[in-house]
Structure 1
Amino acid sequence: MMFSILVANYNNGEFFRSCYDSIIAQSYDNWEVVILDDASTDDSLEVIKKIIGIDDRFKIFRNERNSGVGITKSKLIEFAAGEICGFVDPDDAITTNALNSSIQIFRNRKDVVLTYSKYVKCDENLQPIDIPKNPMPIPNNDPFFFNCPVHIVHFVCFRKDIYETTEKMNTEMKIAEDQDLYLKMYEKGKVKFINEANYLYRTHSRGISQNDNRPKSREYFAKVIFNAMKRRSLKEINGKAIPDQFVDSKAIYDLLEYQNSITYRIKKKLRILVQQLFS
């Protein structure tokens, strides 16, 4: 079972060495790396090519013009030859067992379409800061699950053949394109949480969803949730009508406010426990 590691690069060549080192150190060895440079304005492509050298497991492509993350990640999946795909940002890294942990689940559980794990929040030098608590098991087969609050995060891996049956990556997305993908995959089968911190997430000033981009990320995520509601033909949530058109993010997040209640959280944990016992 081949694993395609997908890398969307834009001006992150200076960080790629750590990403590369973590990939070639994988305990699972049936993998390829597909890199698509989104018309970087620095010397990223040259830096990356120099690091890779003549290793033919790495395939490098370049957009003729800057196209954005939605188009770039969509192309990466198209280029992938593996049965399983997973995105690794060029400024991040993965742990030695990251691929193997995911592959073992896909081999043993044909009903699982997506896996995800914990991650390590790191500083700009990729030194660990902490392991966030938000990645955790989620209920499967729930039409009212929207990954809000966010529990599906790095390291996410998915079956390419199942992805092909979805509406695929939204190429218009500039932020939250990953959340859009996760919800589409969630609708096609079971997702499985890996209780390991398998991804090293670097925080730095140029991160797309970090710092000044957080308000934009929240707005895009609301659109992702709204699109999922419509895709699932939902008319109301917890007794509240879903608007016919997207107006603003507040209207969407207000619909999900009930999920913050203690009663809902207890029921959710019980549902997850039952599913884990009988799956």
Structure 2
Amino acid sequence: MLFSILIANYNNGKFFPDCYKSIMAQSYTNWEAIIVDDGSTDDSVAVIKEIIGEDERFTFIQRSENKGCGYTKRECAKHAKGEISGFLDPDDTILEDALQIMVDEHKDHPDVAIITSRYALVDMKLNFIENGSHGSAIPNDKSYLTFGKGALTAFASFKQQLYDKTEGIDPNMKRAVDQDLYYKMEEQGEHLFLDKVLYNYRIHENSISNNENLYKAEYWHFYAIMNAYKRRKRLGLKLDNFSQNYASEYASRYYLTRFRELKHSKKTTSKFYFIWKAIHASPFHQFKHKIKSLLLLILGRI
């Protein structure tokens, strides 16, 4: 089986050498690497081109315009030729047996659409910090849509022919792109969890979970969840306890969170927007709290 390693790069030139070394160290050798650069403004293009050289296993695609993570990862998947694909961020690395383990498991489980594993958190020099807190199997009576809890995470690999049956990665998404992918792959078959660390996630200043972009990530997670709910309802797929009421309350909680983040700011228009969206999403969810907040906002007390 050919394994397609998918790398969406934006301004990670200084980290790519470590990523490259982890690819070259793989015990499984039947792989290709698809690298799409999303209009980087650092030296990424020069660094990547110099490192991969004329190695035909690497396909490098350079985009002059920055279009975001969703568009770039969709481009990666579009050019994959392997039976199995998996994303590797250019600032992270995979363990040397990661591809071999994934290929073996896909062979042993032909009906499984996506296989995920555990990950480790590492510092700038790839020194181990701790094992990641996410990653688990999903109970039989649940789906990733309702169980959530970060169950599906890196390292993740999926059968390309099943991915091709989906709508593909949403090119409009700026964050939570992997979550969108996981929902769509779950809709094509079973999920298998490997209780093994196969991926090193590097913690640095640009990590989404480590900077001011966290609220943007929250929005796109919400976007992915609601789209998955609507898609599964349209297709008649399993929703378990993700009812319309559940979805509405989820939306209400999300907008209330955004409102609270702005509560003590001077962004009055934004505060009105989020409290109104919370009321509209589910009028009776935390009704008293929302009405009180709206009245205090009208009176200029918050």
| TM-score bracket for the superposition, by shorter chain length | 0.7 to 0.9
Unaligned segments of structure 1, at least 5 residues: 256-279
| Equivalent position to 2:247, from 226, 242, 252 | 242
CA distance, structure 2, for counterparts of residue 31 and residue 134 of structure 1: 27
Would the aligned equivalents of 2:117 and 2:198 in 1 still touch at CA under 8 Å? yes
CA distance, structure 2, for counterparts of residue 178 and residue 210 of structure 1: 18
How has the CA–CA distance of structure 1 residues 137 and 91 changed in structure 2, closer, same or farther, with 3 Å as cutoff? same
Amino acid at match of 1:77: A
CA distance, structure 2, for counterparts of residue 205 and residue 159 of structure 1: 33
| Shift in Å, 1:48 | 1.1
Amino acid at match of 1:22: S
| Shift in Å, 1:132 | 1.9
1:30 matched to 2:40? The reply is no
Amino acid at match of 2:16: F
The structure with the larger Rg is 2
The alignment partner of 1:14 has SS state of coil
| Shift in Å, 1:125 | 1.7
| Shift in Å, 1:137 | 1.3
CA distance, structure 2, for counterparts of residue 140 and residue 207 of structure 1: 33
Tell me how many residue pairs correspond in the alignment: 254
Would the aligned equivalents of 2:145 and 2:225 in 1 still touch at CA under 8 Å? no
Amino acid at match of 2:164: E
Amino acid at match of 2:67: S
Counterpart in 2 of 1:186?
A: 186
Counterpart in 1 of 2:110?
A: 110
CA distance, structure 2, for counterparts of residue 222 and residue 230 of structure 1: 12
Would the aligned equivalents of 2:146 and 2:240 in 1 still touch at CA under 8 Å? no
Counterpart in 2 of 1:80?
A: 80
| Shift in Å, 1:248 | 6.8
| Shift in Å, 1:168 | 1.1
Aligned-residue Cα RMSD (Å) equals 2.5
TM-score normalised to structure 2 length? 0.78
1:55 matched to 2:55? The reply is yes
How has the CA–CA distance of structure 1 residues 22 and 226 changed in structure 2, closer, same or farther, with 3 Å as cutoff? same
More helix by share: 2
| Greater relative CO, 1 or 2 (CA 8 Å, sep 6+) | 1
TM-score normalised to structure 1 length? 0.84
| Shift in Å, 1:78 | 0.6
Unaligned segments of structure 2, at least 5 residues: 234-238, 258-277, 282-302
Counterpart in 2 of 1:120?
A: 120
The alignment partner of 2:198 has SS state of strand
Would the aligned equivalents of 2:146 and 2:242 in 1 still touch at CA under 8 Å? no
| Shift in Å, 1:143 | 5.0
| Shift in Å, 1:103 | 0.5
Counterpart in 2 of 1:136?
A: 136
CA distance, structure 1, for counterparts of residue 89 and residue 171 of structure 2: 18
Q: Deviations over 1:79-132 (max 9, x none)?
A: 111011101011100000100111111111111110111101011221110002
Q: Deviations over 1:220-268 (max 9, x none)?
A: 101111111111215974793534996772589x99xxxxxxxxxxxxx
Amino acid at match of 1:98: A
| Shift in Å, 1:145 | 3.4
Amino acid at match of 1:68: G
CA distance, structure 1, for counterparts of residue 114 and residue 228 of structure 2: 17
1:195 matched to 2:195? The reply is yes
